[in-house]
């Protein structure tokens, strides 16, 4: 598959602050870049977008919630359910 070369497909641990508490998320570079792009489209900071997603998730770990959000965002843009 295209883009899956390299160490663990570019997964990196990144620190974020949610509700005044520092935590970390492990995301592939492509997902992180997409989260930053979506935040910019919405004229939000990356931290604000992640905080909003963290508050609205249900028992899903934050990394998974961010991946699902990103996938759904681009599917919606293409008109896919």
Average pLDDT of 39-63? 91
Q: What one-character-per-residue DSSP string does 14-69 give?
A: EEEEETTEEEEEEEEHHHHHHHHHHHHHTT--HHHHHHHHHHH--S--HHHHHHHH
Name the pTM for this structure. 0.82
Q: Give the mean model confidence (pLDDT) for residues 38-44.
A: 96
pLDDT of residue 1: 47
Q: Structural domains in the chain?
A: 11-78 (1.10.3990.20)
State the Cα–Cα distance between residues 73 and 6, nearest whole angstrom: 26
The more confidently predicted of residues 74 and 5 is 74
**pLDDT of 57 higher than 60:** yes
Please report which confidence band the pLDDT of residue 5 belongs to, taking 50, 70 and 90 as the band edges.
Answer: low
């Amino acid at each position: 598959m295209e883009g899956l070369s390299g160490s663990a497909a570019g997964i990196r641990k990144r620190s974020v602050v949610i509700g005044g508490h520092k935590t970390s998320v492990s995301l592939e570079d492509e997902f992180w870049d997409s989260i930053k792009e979506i935040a910019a489209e919405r004229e939000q900071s990356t931290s604000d977008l992640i905080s909003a997603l963290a508050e609205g998730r249900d028992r899903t770990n934050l990394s998974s919630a961010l991946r699902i959000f990103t996938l759904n965002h681009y599917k919606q843009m293409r008109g896919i359910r």
